[in-house]
A and B are shown apart, each in its own frame.
Chain A
Amino acid sequence: QQQVKQSPQSLIVQKGGISIINCAYENTAFDYFPWYQQFPGKGPALLIAIRPDVSEKKEGRFTISFNKSAKQFSLHIMDSQPGDSATYFCAASRGGATNKLIFGTGTLLAVQP
């Protein structure tokens, strides 16, 4: 119940295309769902986060879609750029951002020029 399942494991997208990464969870007590971006040899950086009372949140080219009934959420990267090539992790926690994060398995995104 503590797991967060993430797919796909890897993704290749052409420059300008849309990258879509999906995550699913079981624990309905989770109430905070962030996405992190990690470059090789670096720590993860917070991209965008959403709470279950909102179905969608957009920040620049990044959008989170949240489906509470299906217990799924996804990250959409619009107009993908080669600089977006990185590993993306979804995560979930309960008790808001204060509590420990359960990370998904990660998606390696490659944006081809």
Chain B
Amino acid sequence: GAVVSQHPSWVICKSGTSVKIECRSLDFQATTMFWYRQFPKQSLMLMATSNEGSKATYEQGVEKDKFLINHASLTLSTLTVTSAHPEDSSFYICSARWGQGFSNQPQHFGDGTRLSIL
């Protein structure tokens, strides 16, 4: 149980294009989803937290107009990297959890999306 699926797993695109990454919870309803970025041989850095039906909360230093997050349903969140440039190349990982408040439910992670901007 608690499977989180990300799509695509790998994408290469030209500089200036926008890229959309999907994150789905397959067997549970995700009240909260998190988006992380991970550079090679580095740790995961939280970009934003999204709750179903409300605006995402971005971490300090993350451009909300650059990284658009939509959590339209309890099983789907999307991250759109707008006008992507080579410095946006990274490994993007989502996680999801269910339950409200102090629910003791852990975050479950997807397998990530490797984004390469040429």
Q: Flag if B103 contacts A98 (CB, 8 Å).
A: yes
Q: Flag if B97 contacts A98 (CB, 8 Å).
A: yes
Q: Is A82 at the interface (CB under 8 A from chain B)?
A: no
Number of residues in A with C-beta < 8 Å to the partner?
21
When the two chains form the complex, which single residue of B104, B107, B110 contacts A101, counting CB atoms closer than 8 Å?
B107
7 contacts between A and B (CB under 8 A): A42-B112, A45-B109, A95-B102, A98-B101, A105-B42, A106-B41, A106-B42
Interface residues of A in 90-104 (CB under 8 A from B): 95-98, 100-101, 103-104
Q: Flag if B42 contacts A97 (CB, 8 Å).
A: no
In the bound complex, residues from chain B placing their C-beta under 8 Å from that of A104 are: 43
Q: Flag if B103 contacts A97 (CB, 8 Å).
A: yes
Q: A44-B109, A97-B97, A100-B34 are in contact. Are A105 and B104 (CB under 8 A)?
A: no
Q: Is B68 at the interface (CB under 8 A from chain A)?
A: no
Measured between alpha carbons, how far is A104 from B111 in the docked complex, in Å? 19
Q: Flag if B44 contacts A89 (CB, 8 Å).
A: yes
The 3 closest A-B pairs by CB, nearest first: A43-B109, A97-B106, A103-B43
When the two chains form the complex, which single residue of B41, B44, B99, B110 contacts A98, counting CB atoms closer than 8 Å?
B99
Interface residues of B in 39-55 (CB under 8 A from A): 41-46, 49
Interface residues of B in 83-114 (CB under 8 A from A): 93, 95, 97, 99, 101-112, 114
Q: Flag if B46 contacts A101 (CB, 8 Å).
A: yes
Q: Among A43, A45, A108, which residue has the most Cβ atoms of chain B within 10 A?
A: A43
Q: Among A41, A44, A95, which residue has the most Cβ atoms of chain B within 10 A?
A: A44
Measured between alpha carbons, how far is A28 from B66 in the docked complex, in Å? 34
In the bound complex, residues from chain A placing their C-beta under 8 Å from that of B46 are: 100-101
Q: Is B75 at the interface (CB under 8 A from chain A)?
A: no
Measured between alpha carbons, how far is A85 from B4 in the docked complex, in Å? 23
Interface residues of A in 59-113 (CB under 8 A from B): 89, 95-98, 100-101, 103-106, 108
Please, which residue of chain A has its CB at the minimum distance from the CB of B114?
A41
Please, which residue of chain A has its CB at the minimum distance from the CB of B31?
A98
Q: From residue B45, how far is it (CB to closest CB) to chain A in Å?
A: 8
In the bound complex, residues from chain A placing their C-beta under 8 Å from that of B6 are: 43
Residue interface bits A14-42, CB-to-B below 8 A is 1, else 0? 00000000000000000000101000011
